[in-house]
């Protein structure tokens, strides 16, 4: 994939708004735009075709477009762009966008709109785009002129970098008018990150030293990457604490040789049973599992933790979770050691290892059952694979059974909207294609694959275009 430098972006007095927008996207590291455009976005499409820094990828349905951008960002922790056609087109992408919002990925949506003077005519596709996007975005803005779109785009990118959804509305006349005041692309500036509270870190360390085995460290978001998990497992080994993962984690790096993390179960009863073992929970880029049952049920609790559980927010969502864990590790080691801490560490060593060993289940035979499917899968995952798990009832054993599989990335459903695994997998595929290093395993339940089945046509088209481009490059050489 072509890499660009600041020197590549000089600005051009003859640019229109769409061209300055594309140049700003490329200047700030956006390399892919998943698109399902219409008439109002044609100037953006023309600009996309003329510049080399942002690759356009066509999707035949908007839910595929937003889902692919979700998968791309989950794997790279950087934003992709999408291009959507007016309010109804954006509405078609909201199901996947809902999941992406819950996954806390970085994404910049560009939504076309009618020209400003045309909106008052109430043409058939006129709608309240800002109102439709706000529940599914962290940041929404309409850019009023060709001279404002570059700055608005930089703001959208900057806001997205910490794992946020930005939605920028591009009126047609903003795209086609001359950006006569534009000189060069502005830099995206990320908001000042949320900081961990030193007092909260010290309080968590005190609790771990005093009552490690009755304490769980709940990890979510980007805290489930290998770097954070390596620090977390050292804390657990030293104190006897338990490592937990959010039920609906976007991406977990796991498998043989990596730290093991227990996922909070989906059903209410086993979740309550698990969480009653802990007097304290330490949150690292995770939401408290209170009112966390997926649905309300008669005579079942929505609050899954015990009433007297103490919570410590070590790393607020969006903060530097690796730094917070390192600070906690130091605080645990720097505090006074006593017999209870030594006993907790010894107990941690005596119990099963906190690091997974390669131990796939024996290949099953006979009648297919959910348990046998899970056992088979544990040996079927190739090294460095990306596993997308959209199963629900049938797949409840899959996560536990694959702990000893080859090292892999495990992507889960985050928002509950079905049909996400195919488009998210496509975005993962584009992320990994330059190296050709990833295998993907998708697991489904119910009718979920049919929801975004048109993805296959778009993916095949993109694959053919990619092969043709490779042939052209080879011929040129």
Q: What is the mean pLDDT of residues 112-138?
A: 96
Tokens encoding 245: 């993962």
Whether residue 358 is predicted with pLDDT greater than 90 in this model: the reply is: yes
**Lowest-confidence pick of 106-120, 142-156, 269-283, 428-442:** 428-442
Residue 100 in contact with residue 72, Cβ under 8 Å? no
**Lowest-confidence pick of 3-17, 55-69, 91-105:** 3-17
pLDDT of residue 297: 84
Structure-token match 């047609």, residue found? 172
Please give the Cα distance from 114 to 226 (Å, whole number).
46
pLDDT of residue 476: 39
What integer best gives the mean pLDDT of the chain? 87
**Lowest-confidence pick of 245-249, 306-310, 390-394, 449-453:** 449-453
Q: Tell which wins on pLDDT, 127 or 456.
A: 127
39-76 tens-digit pLDDT: 999 999 999 999 999 999 999 999 999 999 999 999 99
pLDDT of residue 441: 66
**CATH 3.40.50.970 in the chain, residues?**
17-192+456-475
Contacts (Cβ under 8 Å, ≥6 apart) of 385? 406, 408, 409, 438, 439, 440, 441
196-205 tens-digit pLDDT: 999 999 999 9
Q: Tell which wins on pLDDT, 36 or 465.
A: 36
pLDDT of residue 333: 87
Residue 291: exposure state from Cβ atoms within 10 A (0-12, 13-18, ≥19): exposed
Q: Which CATH number fits domain 17-192+456-475: 3.50.50.60, 3.40.50.970, 3.40.1830.10, 3.90.960.10?
A: 3.40.50.970
pLDDT of residue 347: 55
Whether residue 12 is predicted with pLDDT greater than 60 in this model: the reply is: no
Q: What's this model's pTM, rounded to 2 decimal places? A: 0.88
Fold (CATH) for 198-248+258-351: Rossmann fold (3.40.50)
**CATH 3.40.50.1220 in the chain, residues?**
198-248+258-351
pLDDT of residue 292: 56
């Amino acid at each position: 994939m072509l890499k660009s430098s600041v020197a590549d972006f000089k600005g051009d007095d003859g640019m229109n708004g769409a061209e300055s927008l594309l140049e700003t996207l490329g200047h700030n590291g956006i390399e892919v735009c998943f698109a399902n455009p219409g008439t109002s976005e044609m100037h953006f499409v023309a600009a996309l075709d003329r510049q080399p820094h942002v690759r356009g990828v066509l999707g035949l349905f908007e839910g595929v477009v937003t889902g692919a951008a979700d998968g791309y960002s989950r794997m790279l922790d950087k934003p992709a762009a999408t291009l959507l056609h007016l309010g109804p087109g954006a509405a078609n992408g909201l199901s996947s966008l809902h999941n992406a919002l819950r996954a806390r990925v970085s994404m910049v949506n560009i939504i076309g709109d009618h020209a400003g003077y045309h909106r008052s005519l109430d043409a058939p596709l006129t709608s309240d785009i800002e109102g439709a996007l706000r529940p599914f975005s962290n940041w929404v803005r309409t850019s009023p002129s060709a001279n404002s779109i570059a700055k608005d785009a930089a703001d959208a990118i900057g806001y997205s970098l910490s794992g946020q959804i930005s939605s920028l509305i591009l009126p047609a006349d903003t795209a086609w008018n001359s950006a006569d005041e534009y000189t060069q692309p502005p830099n995206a500036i990320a908001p000042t990150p949320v900081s961990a509270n030193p007092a909260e870190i010290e309080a968590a360390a005190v609790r771990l030293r005093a009552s490690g085995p009755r304490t769980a460290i709940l990890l979510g978001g980007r805290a489930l990457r290998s770097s954070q998990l390596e620090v977390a497992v050292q804390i657990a080994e030293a104190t006897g604490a338990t490592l937990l993962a959010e039920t609906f984690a976007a991406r977990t790096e796991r498998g043989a040789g990596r730290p093991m993390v227990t996922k909070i179960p989906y059903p209410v009863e086993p979740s309550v049973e698990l969480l009653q073992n802990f007097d304290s929970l330490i949150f690292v880029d995770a939401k408290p599992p209170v009112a966390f049952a997926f649905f309300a049920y008669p005579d079942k609790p929505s609050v899954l933790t015990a009433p007297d559980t103490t919570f410590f927010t070590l790393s607020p969502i969006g903060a530097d979770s690796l730094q917070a864990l390192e600070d906690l590790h130091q605080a645990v080691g720097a505090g006074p050691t006593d017999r209870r801490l030594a006993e907790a560490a010894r107990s941690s060593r005596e119990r099963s290892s906190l690091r997974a060993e390669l131990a796939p289940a024996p290949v099953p035979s006979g009648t297919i059952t959910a348990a046998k499917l899970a056992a088979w899968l544990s040996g079927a995952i190739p090294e460095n694979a990306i596993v997308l798990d959209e199963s629900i009832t049938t797949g409840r054993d899959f996560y536990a059974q694959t702990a000893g599989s080859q090292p892999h990335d495990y992507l889960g459903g985050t928002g509950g909207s079905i049909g996400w695994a195919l488009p998210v997998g496509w975005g993962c595929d584009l992320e990994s294609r330059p190296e050709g290093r990833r295998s993907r395993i998708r697991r489904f339940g119910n009718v979920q694959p049919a929801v975004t089945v048109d993805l296959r046509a778009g993916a095949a088209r993109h694959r053919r275009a990619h092969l043709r481009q490779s042939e052209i490059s080879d011929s040129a050489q």
